[in-house]
Every structure is written in structure tokens, then in C-alpha cells.
Amino acid sequence: MLKRAEESHLTSWFFEIDRKLLIAVFALVAVGIWATVTAGSVAAERMSPPQPWHYFFIKMIPFYVLGLGAMLVTSAFNKKLALAIAWLNIAVCFVLLAMTFINPVIINGSARWVPLFGFRVMPAEIMKPGFIIITAWFLDRMYRIMPGQDIFISKRAWQWDGWPAYLVPFFAAVYIIFNHPDVGTAALYFIVFAGMLFLAGLPWMLVLGMGGIAALGGIAAFLTVGHFQRRVLLWLGMEGGADNFQIRQSVAAIRHGGLLGSGEDSFIKQSLPDAHTDFIYSAIAEDSGALLAAALILGLLFVLGRLATNARTARDRFVFYAAGGVFVLFGVQTFINIASALGMIPTKGITLPFISYGGSSFVALCLLFGLLLALVREDRWK
């Protein structure tokens, strides 16, 4: 048994932090760095003009430093400071979302990026930490101001400082993200929101109602967003095209890897678009084989298990909602990325947490996990 030899902020942090979760995240980051080098090297060679093998790794170094630093620093915060960071995150990201209308960076027909300090950032990705933490705070607040009342259907819940104060900015943000267009991320926000409401005791009839809203949103996206309609039709085999080629190459890369991987003989990933982002799991499977690809899934499931444990053992309702929200986000994002790589669902452009190349996604996840680690630590020990 490890015992404290002295009392200090550092020793308190070390003994109170969820070390298993922290170590698991660092292990995933290490895999992500390796995958960014191996899969990113072939993506860099296909650029015009071709770039050196370390091109994407070098671009990610500032984000690795910023993200891991933010996670370690924020994990030592108290609840009050963690909430302040979450509010600041939401405020900044709403401004950045507004900038996607004013001065967007349009890539592949999507206006989801904005220029910031010489980098291109995605406000929808960066806003995830604040969204989950503030949603958890709001749900807890609703129970505190309405003890013994139903926080979903009571009259008090729908006064101006109740659900309207939350739903108006939430749906405004989702609408902006949907119209970038970024249907996948908008759907991810809605799923996480629905999951957190379910944890908060949303009645089953309202759960079914939210499912109906999601179905209507999917139909609207299919009818109005051209690339979403095309991806669905390609996945159903009703059309041929680039997206269908991506899925075929992704599945072929996984098959070519076999059990132990192809190593230097990996060649399918060289023609796989987005091998370092959307289809990084396929590149890993071809390089290292099904056994290590399955081990990666086990590592991701271990993180999910720790998140579930933190939610189940939380004493503070606010921490329960926060851990549950991170669980839903991490689980759904992981499922969408791997299921897309396996051809189980249409491609969505969702990153594999801590693995895929992408500075905005990486920093946002690190900040989110840092804030959650801080909340769990204080809930257990303070």
C-alpha cells in the first residue's frame, strides 16, 4: 500500500487522482502519437506538394503539449474553479461559433473551422468540455431549486430561469453546427444531451419523444444536406463514388492486416483517404493486426469502465451527471469512428478519442478529462 510521507498539493493530487484512468489516457495518447506518425506519413506523401513523413506529427506537437498540460493542470482544480473554466469554455466557443458565419475557414464545403492564433480550430470540438460540465451543473441546479418536484414537466421547470435558459442557447449552437454542415457532430451533441437527461430521470415518454425528434432530424438532414444524403446512399450501395471507396479500402486494410499485421508490407492504407483521422483504426489494424487492434478496443473499453465506475460511486449528483456525460460522449464517439471504419454505419467524420489526428479534438478531450478528474477527486476526498 502506498502511504503519504508528507502533505502537499502534489502528494495530495497523486494519491487522490484516479490514477488508473489517467494512466489509461496516457497509454491511448502514446498509441495516438505512434499512429499519427505511421498513418500520417502516407497521408503526407499524398499531399501536393508531398510532405516529409513527420509532417502531421510535427503539426500535432503543440496540441500534445497544450492538451496534456491542460489535463494535468485542471485535474488539480477544485469544483469552483473547474466550473469557472467550463463557463469560460462555453463563452469563448459561442463567440467562435458566431465567427463561423463571419470569417469561416471552408474545407471540403464545410465552414466548421475558424482561424485562431495561426491555427485552424473547430469550435464545435472545443466546446465539448464546457457543454458536458455545464449541462451536469444545470441538471443538478434544477434538482436543488425544485426539491421534490419533477424537473422536466413541473410548471416551475419551464419558467425563464429553468429549461428555456438552457434550451435556447443549446439548440442555437446545435443549429449552427448542423448548418456548417456537420451533421455528425450535431447528432453527437444531441445524443450526449439525451443520455444525460436519461441519467437525470427523464420519463420514458419523453425519451421516446426525443427519439422521434432525432428521427425527424435525420430525415431533414437526408433531404437537405447533400453530402449526408450521398453518404447514406453510398453506404446502402445505391450509388458508387469516393465515399464508398473509402469504406471498401478501410475494410480491405483491416483484412490485409490479418492477426499480426502487415508491418512494412502495409500498402492499402497508402490509398486510404483520411487514414490519419477518420480511418486511423483501419491503418492501425493493417500495420499491427487484429490482435493489437482488439487490444486497442479493450483499452478504450477500460476507459469507459473507469468512467462508469466514477459515475456509479459519485456522492455528488453533479459529479454523477458529469461522469455520465463523459461516458456517453467517449462511448458514442468511439463507436461511430470504429463502426464507420468497419462499414457498419455511414462515414461521419468523427475522430477516435485520443488516437486520431486533430488538434481541436485532442485538446478538448484532454480538457474534458482534466475537469472530470478534478471533480471526481474532490468528490472522493473533500
Q: What is the pLDDT of residue 263?
A: 72
Helices then strands (H, E): number in the chain? 14, 3
pLDDT band with cut points at 50, 70 and 90 for residue 257: confident
Is residue 107 classed exposed, middle or buried when 0-12, 13-18 and 19+ CB atoms within 10 A define those classes? exposed
Q: What is the pLDDT of residues 336-368, one digit of tens each?
A: 999 988 888 887 778 999 999 999 999 999 999
pLDDT band with cut points at 50, 70 and 90 for residue 237: low
pLDDT mean across residues, the chain: 88
pLDDT above 80 for 53: yes
What H or E segment, with its residue span, contains residue 110? strand 110-116
Cα–Cα distance for residue pair 59/357, rounded to 1 Å: 10
Long-range contact pairs involving 344-347 (C-beta distance under 8 Å, separation at least 24): 345/235, 346/231, 346/232, 346/234, 346/235, 346/243, 347/231, 347/235, 347/243, 347/246, 347/247, 347/278
Angle (CA) 118-124-130 rounded to 5° is: 105
Placement of cell 466550473 in the chain: 83
Give me the sign of the Cα torsion angle 214, 218, 219, 223.
positive
Q: Which is more confidently placed, 117 or 375?
A: 375
Q: Which is more confidently placed, 170 or 278?
A: 170
Q: What is the pLDDT of residues 159-218, one digit of tens each?
A: 998 999 999 999 999 999 988 888 889 989 999 999 999 999 988 778 788 778 877 877
Compute how many other C-beta atoms are within 10 angstroms of the C-beta atom of residue 249.
19
For the full predicted model, state whether its pTM sits above 0.85: yes
pLDDT above 90 for 223: no
pLDDT above 90 for 304: yes
pLDDT above 80 for 243: no
**Cis upstream peptide for 181 (omega within 30°):** yes
Q: What's the Rg (C-alpha) of the chain? A: 21
